[in-house]
Structure 1
């Protein structure tokens, strides 16, 4: 008999509005794949909220189960690479976008999407990170690869109270960097300080409208999650030879900038993509996240929610009111 399980299903109602409800699904409804995974935890990301809102740029076909993150235990595998009982992590690729995602008891995915959970991490901890934390890890790796060291000055992090920003602050603090957090939420100052931010500045301070090609150097590097004029201001304000990473565009997809920061200061702009990041490099990032990059503040970054609480949490993140990370308890 086909096994049934619970999941969050997003569908359009008669008026064309999209609603998310808990529903019963069956294993046979899952897409074809090499490995069936019993999901224990997932996490809530902004992309999940877009998928749950009917955004066709994220998810083309509905009804659909979002959840771009999943951590759980292999229940069945058609390959020798993965065996029943293996604890694994799946983030990125097409999970939760057009492939039934982690907001359900089960997922079935290609073997090539799966990373073995490091021993130093619990399944829940891996979802405190999730895609947001993994993106923060790739961003920190880019700074390290380009030789940005703590003695060169502060690293500025935008979107500091969000998932990527909050984890990035924790990792950078663990590695000995001085961190400047950018936030438009005065009430979040204590939270950001607890993560390791040594300075907190408002967004308006990094939204230059002077039209200048270069600004006074202030930062050794930057992790930007918002894009637009704020990213341009960061690039113009980075020290000679510094590195700026870019992983988001909530502010804007445009970049009002000249080439001068690149050809006069040698600034490096590194785009961060966590969706198609090569699987062999994923393993290395996850190992760092489990070990030498693991923030002391990791547990304080999150709160747990159930599948039933997801619809309300989705509205919270869409309104920009989510602080830190939300781990979704599946089991």
Structure 2
């Protein structure tokens, strides 16, 4: 028997409820690898899956948790053996498939990545899906020409999970980092991660009639979308790129094509869910090499399974700062 957060749906009124339950291994889905889960995290998608579902959960009862790290217990795939440390993000685990909010998980071998040297399972989940996505965004900007010394790099939604890790990674790589936040109380936190400038959200949250403004940013990791992304596109330097990773500010993009045509700006879409294996390994290796562990520790807030229902509500309200690491054995 093992503990898990189980979400159930009342068919009469369509409402969901989440509570910690005891499950047995024979209730796990069929797949090649069984993992003793040690740590997971809380992401925006997790908030949806713990609560109303957001259209992500296919059937109930359901175990959420879109990422986890732990130790292989059994494996029917030669790539993994008992005792191997592994990490999982994406592949709709925690949405369409049972996820990491349990002391055991059974998943396809193709979905796992060996834990890179230099990271333990707790640190891997301090990074989690958010940090993995942040590194994918930074790598995409580098692949499209971002180098140090060409101006500040903007991070929107900087105090959130993706933004926090993006700030720390970019600063560690030697970039001047500007962080956008609507929470003034996070200024010291962001400066501690390496941000050299704080941009109040209201300065950049609305579109303007001018399709182009002064060339300001050498690159951008955008977790907000909506009008803010449209505004940022008009402030990018010639030939620079924006890596779009989220839509906290809305899915609409009230922009013009002028920045693309007159400044050669690139808008790069970042998806972490279906990312190919080789690029996953590349990203996790870069994370282990680049991300300062002291900065990582400063982002972390510990939690247990019992804390998850409230944390799910909090993250949907934008009330979670940094990275929540869930100890499945805590």
TM-score of Structure 1 vs Structure 2, range by shorter chain: over 0.9
Q: Specify the alignment match of 1:51 in structure 2.
A: 49
Alpha-carbon deviation of 1:292?
A: 2.6
Q: RMSD of the alignment, in Å? A: 1.1
Deviates more, 1:95-104 or 1:56-65: 56-65
Q: Normalized against structure 1, the TM-score is what?
A: 0.97
> Which secondary structure does the structure 1 equivalent of 2:272 belong to?
coil
**Distance in 2 between the 1:151 and 1:323 partners?**
29
**Distance in 1 between the 2:240 and 2:109 partners?**
38
Q: Specify the alignment match of 2:282 in structure 1.
A: 284
**Distance in 1 between the 2:321 and 2:206 partners?**
26
Residues 191-202 of structure 1 mapped to structure 2, 5 A cutoff: 191-202=189-200
Q: Specify the alignment match of 1:239 in structure 2.
A: 237
Q: Specify the alignment match of 1:124 in structure 2.
A: 122
Which 4+ stretches in 1 moved above 6 angstroms? none
Deviates more, 1:292-301 or 1:104-113: 292-301
Deviates more, 1:12-21 or 1:259-268: 12-21
Alpha-carbon deviation of 1:293?
A: 3.7
Q: Specify the alignment match of 2:100 in structure 1.
A: 102
> Which secondary structure does the structure 2 equivalent of 1:291 belong to?
helix
**Distance in 2 between the 1:114 and 1:23 partners?**
25
**Distance in 2 between the 1:243 and 1:202 partners?**
22
> Which secondary structure does the structure 1 equivalent of 2:146 belong to?
coil
Q: Is the 8 A contact 1:43 1:128 kept in 2?
A: yes
Alpha-carbon deviation of 1:250?
A: 1.6
**Distance in 2 between the 1:243 and 1:198 partners?**
20
Alpha-carbon deviation of 1:252?
A: 1.3
Q: Specify the alignment match of 1:264 in structure 2.
A: 262
Give 5+ residue unaligned stretches, structure 1: none
Residue by residue, what CA displacement relative to the aligned partner does 1:98-140 show, whole Å, maximum 9, x if unpaired?
1111000111111100100012001000000100000000000
Give the count of matched residue pairs: 328
Q: Is the 8 A contact 2:207 2:230 kept in 1?
A: no
Give 5+ residue unaligned stretches, structure 2: none
Alpha-carbon deviation of 1:207?
A: 2.5
Q: Normalized against structure 2, the TM-score is what?
A: 0.97
**Distance in 1 between the 2:122 and 2:219 partners?**
31
Residue by residue, what CA displacement relative to the aligned partner does 1:11-52 show, whole Å, maximum 9, x if unpaired?
124543211100111212111111000000001111001011
> Which secondary structure does the structure 2 equivalent of 1:6 belong to?
strand
Q: Specify the alignment match of 2:322 in structure 1.
A: 324
Q: Is the 8 A contact 1:246 1:271 kept in 2?
A: yes
**Distance in 1 between the 2:138 and 2:85 partners?**
26
1:144 has 2:142 as partner: yes
Alpha-carbon deviation of 1:295?
A: 5.3
> Which secondary structure does the structure 1 equivalent of 2:110 belong to?
helix
1:181 has 2:179 as partner: yes
Q: 1:79 aligns with which of 53, 65, 77?
A: 77
**Distance in 1 between the 2:227 and 2:204 partners?**
8
